[in-house]
Structure formats: structure tokens, C-alpha cells
Amino acid sequence: MELTKELWGKSACGKEIYLYTLKNSGGAYVQLSSIGAGLVSAVVPDKEGKLADVVLGYPDPMSYFGDGPCAGKIPGRYANRIALGKFTLDGKEYELPVNNGPNHLHGGPDGFQNKVWESRENEGGVEFLYYSEDGEMGYPGALKAVARYEWTEENELRLTLTAESDAPTVVNLTNHTYFNLNGEGNGNILGHTLRLNASEYLPTSDSLIPLGESAPVAGTPMDFVTEKMIGAEIKADFPALNYGKGYDNCWVIDGAEPGQIQEAAELYAPECGRVLNIYTTQPGVQVYTGNWLSGCPAGKNGHVYEDYEGVAIECQNFPDAPNKEEYPSAVLRPGEVYEQAIIFAFGIR
């Protein structure tokens, strides 16, 4: 495995931004940035052996700060939405900044995705560390978050997310990469097929806050138990699709158990034969079909990204879990270690 590190730029406050490249013997490689511990590129072969970058992103590192799509990065302290920017923990209510309609999204406007993380090469992988101070974006407790990426000879990107806190807090970490298996900038992903290991999803309010109990996907446009084209029913007259202008929902992974790796999703592009299988220890998978990509920063290779040109498949805890006792707990207490894993396995078929 070839691992290189280069200075990519400096943040507005002068902090150095690094870009890491991990290349295997087959020539496939990924690039990682210390901005939001993000995935910048994944260059993998198609069925004819042709390499292409299947990750949406920007050529200018400064474009990653404050971008609406949160492209490739790790949002936090709590990925996804918390209703009305409020939650109660151990009898005390905490208020968080509201930055998505009436709700708090991805840790707020100054979340982990907009920070330059510390970084290092370690045992063949790359580790990123961010120390979040007590009270940052309204969250209690000083939190240390670590994201470790490894790239294998089999074109698997393995991500381990860990966190520890010195006081009770809530945490939910994921990776927010947008994939287009035909290559970034090569049109929309509506012709990709998707299969989800999920027979239930979380219906939401019109501001995308889960209502509570999960519902069966059977007989609805949310059914991806059997492989289906993403665009097949994306325009259907159905609440979830009307609220989000496409898919932006959390599915409940079948058979999910804490600490156990489980298949979450399979994404496939029939035109080129690339396939992406995703495995995780997380209980849910948020699928967002890039419904609002238009107007985002200029993309790589002179590309201008439009709506639906990438799909994010985010393995995570359920949205608004801090306010819903029936959901898997998002609480992290002193002495505990938050630890989750996600594997992005690229292949062909």
C-alpha cells in the first residue's frame, strides 16, 4: 500500500490542511482530507478496468468549509436532525443552534464537518482527531472524536469512528460522501439501482423529523428490499418524497445489533458495472439522493453538480434519537467508548 501526504492549503485561521492518498497495487486509490476528516476521492475500476473517481467533491479545499451538501465529511457532534434544536439529558434541557428549518442539523453551522482535524499516518491507515470543547454548539461535555480510515487491496475503504467524553453527552457520527458510480460529473444517479437491507423505515414530519415508530416499506416507494432503480419512484406522490424532493429518510437495518457488522446497502451502476456494498455496526442508514445539490461549490474537473448527481448512504443512529426513548440510545457517558464501523466495498458485477 502506498500512502502519501501533502499540504493541500490553509484554513482562514491559518491551520494547515492535509491531503492523504492511499493507493493499492491495482492502482485504485482514495484521497482523504483533514477538513471534516473527509473522503475527497475514490478512484476505482469499472467492468472494463477503467479507473474513475466516483466521489463528488471540490478542487478547492476552501470549498469544503460551510458547503451545504457536507460533501464527503464527518458531521457531528450529532449527524442528522434534532427536533427544534433541543434535547433533555439527565433532567437538564440543552439548546442547540437551529440551522435547518426549525431543526438542528449535523451538529450545527460550526459542526465537526467544518473543522480542520488533527491527522497522522498510523499502522498503514490515516487517523483524524477532533477535540470538541464542552459547550461547543450547545453540547455538554468535552468530546474527543477519532476517525480512522484504511484502504485495502480489495478496494475496501474501512472507517472506524470512536469518541469519548468527560461528561454525559449525545453523539452520532457517520460519513456523508456522495457517490456516482459512473464517475463524478457523469450525470445523475437515478439510473443506479439500490438495495437496502431494511424492511422498515422511519416516517417523518414535513421537516424530516421522525414521528416515532418505524413503518413497513412493503407496498410503498420506500421499498428497496429487492434491488430497484433509484429513479423508479422518486417522483411518486408519497409524503416522504414530497417533503424531501426525493429520498432523504432513515431506514432501519434488519438484524442490526450493537457491535455487529451487518450489510446495510448495495448500490450498482448498470452502465459501467461498478458496485458498492456498504456494511456497518450502526442501526440505521440515511439515504439522501442529492435533492438540493444545485448551487453547491464548483466541482472537480470543471463539473457543475446538479440535483440528483450523487447519492449519500449514511450509516448512523436514528435522527432525533436524543428525544425518543424508543430509539437506540445516543447517550455517551464518561468511561464509555462510542465505537462504530462502516465499510465501503467497491467491486464490479
Please list the active-site residues: 176, 314
Q: How far is CA 177 from the centre of its chain?
A: 5
CA-CA distance, 239 to 269, in Å (whole number)?
Answer: 27
Q: What is the DSSP string of 291-336?
A: TT-TTPSP-GGG----TTS-EEEEEESPTTGGG-TTSPP-EE-TT-
Sequence-ordered strand ranges (E) for 183-273:
193-196, 200-201, 215-216, 228-229, 248-252, 262-268
CB 188 within 8 Å of CB 89 = no
CA-CA distance, 75 to 106, in Å (whole number)?
Answer: 5
Longest dimension (CA), the chain: 59
Angle made by CA atoms 218, 176, 331, in degrees to the nearest 5: 80
Q: Compute the Cα dihedral for 251, 253, 257, 259 and give only its sign.
A: negative
Closest CA to 222 of 243, 349, 209: 243
CB 279 within 8 Å of CB 267 = no
Q: Which residues pair with 78 in a beta bridge?
A: 172
Sequence-ordered strand ranges (E) for 74-198:
81-82, 86-89, 92-95, 104-105, 118-122, 125-132, 143-151, 156-165, 169-170, 178-179, 193-196
CB 113 within 8 Å of CB 79 = no
CA-CA distance, 41 to 57, in Å (whole number)?
Answer: 7
